[in-house]
Amino acid sequence: MNLELLTNQTIDIVKQAAVFIQQEAALFSRDKIEYKDLNNLVSYVDKEAEKLLVAGLKEILPEASFITEEGTTGQEPDPTALNWIIDPLDGTTNFIHGIPVYCVSVGLARGKEPLIGVIHEPSLNEVFYGWQGGGAWCNGKRLRISNVQSLQESLIATGFPYYKFEKQKRYMALLELLMQKTHGIRRMGAAAVDLAYVAAGRFDGFYEYNLNSWDMAAGVLLIREAGGTVTDFNGGDDYLFGGDIIAGAGGHAELVAIIREHF
């Protein structure tokens, strides 16, 4: 596969989905919200954007399967295969409430190995993209992780749990500790945006649990190509389908050590 060519083709398809999302943002009303389960929101915008993405990606790489958040393909996912891993609208709750922090996230992976990542944040017209061995980029500018070497100097991003609250006490204790040991904690509400910002050096680290592969696939590729480190909460490599992730720059090892104490 020509990964650079595939990345450029993917960008074109993602941009089409982003245009649709922004058109609908101007018209969206909250009576169109659907609930998948507790606090897990979806709308017709997510579903239609996913259908648009799937149709376009099928054309450029027919042999690939799909793992998608909204399940519009009807396929039974095979995590060991060559898969497009798609979140058509990461940050749906932000979108629904008119908060302009959301994105389209598309990754291509063979098993657990990311090959391509494209994250488009339409409100800022920023397209983060990269491919294995080709670096990470944003609107034509090469991305590098931050040069911060310690957790104490780091600005960290995370996500707050909105279901599976059995870990909440441990999470809050960890949050309290990190508030004291870093420059601060940010919660944007879209994990793919957080990961793209780590790759761009805006955040120095990111951690979250209860994530899915479509939240992470594109961002993991970008961070690795930008020179960063990605692990699960145990410091291993079971993050893409394992549900938890720590990503970052020079303070990554410190962050892993602290999180392991709590989880």
- The 10s digit of each residue's pLDDT in 78-99 is 899 999 999 999 999 899 889 9
3-state secondary structure 116-146: EEEEEECCCCEEEEEECCCEEEECCEECCCC
Residues ≥6 apart with Cβ < 8 Å to 262: 170, 171, 173, 174, 177
Give the separation between CA 95 and CA 88, rounded to whole angstroms: 12
Give the separation between CA 244 and CA 233, rounded to whole angstroms: 6
Query: What does the pLDDT average to over 64-79?
Result: 88
CB crowding 212-221: b at 16 or more within 10 Å, else e: ebbbbbbbbb
Contact status, residue 114 vs residue 240, Cβ threshold 8 Å: yes
Query: What does the pLDDT average to over 52-81?
Result: 92
End-to-end CA distance of the chain: 39
More confident residue, 254 or 34: 254
Whole-number pLDDT of residue 71:
84
Q: Across the chain, what does the average pLDDT equal?
A: 92
For the chain, what percent of residues have pLDDT higher than 70? 93
Query: What does the pLDDT average to over 16-29?
Result: 87
Q: 103-129: per-residue pLDDT in tens?
A: 999 999 999 999 999 999 999 999 999
Most confident by average pLDDT, 37-41, 66-70, 131-135: 131-135
Has domain 151-262 been given CATH number 3.40.50.9100?
A: no
Residue 19, pLDDT above cutoff 60: yes
Residue 35, pLDDT above cutoff 70: no
Please tell me whether residue 196 adopts helix, strand or coil conformation: helix
Give the separation between CA 261 and CA 227, rounded to whole angstroms: 26
Has domain 3-142 been given CATH number 3.30.540.10?
A: yes
Q: 146-174: per-residue pLDDT in tens?
A: 999 999 999 999 998 766 677 788 889 99
CA atoms within 13 A on the CB side of 230: 29
Residue 65, pLDDT above cutoff 50: yes
| In the chain, where the domains are located | 3-142, 151-262
Whole-number pLDDT of residue 38:
46
Contact status, residue 221 vs residue 114, Cβ threshold 8 Å: yes
Residue 52, pLDDT above cutoff 50: yes
CA angle 254, 260, 216 (to 5 degrees): 85
Query: What does the pLDDT average to over 228-244?
Result: 95
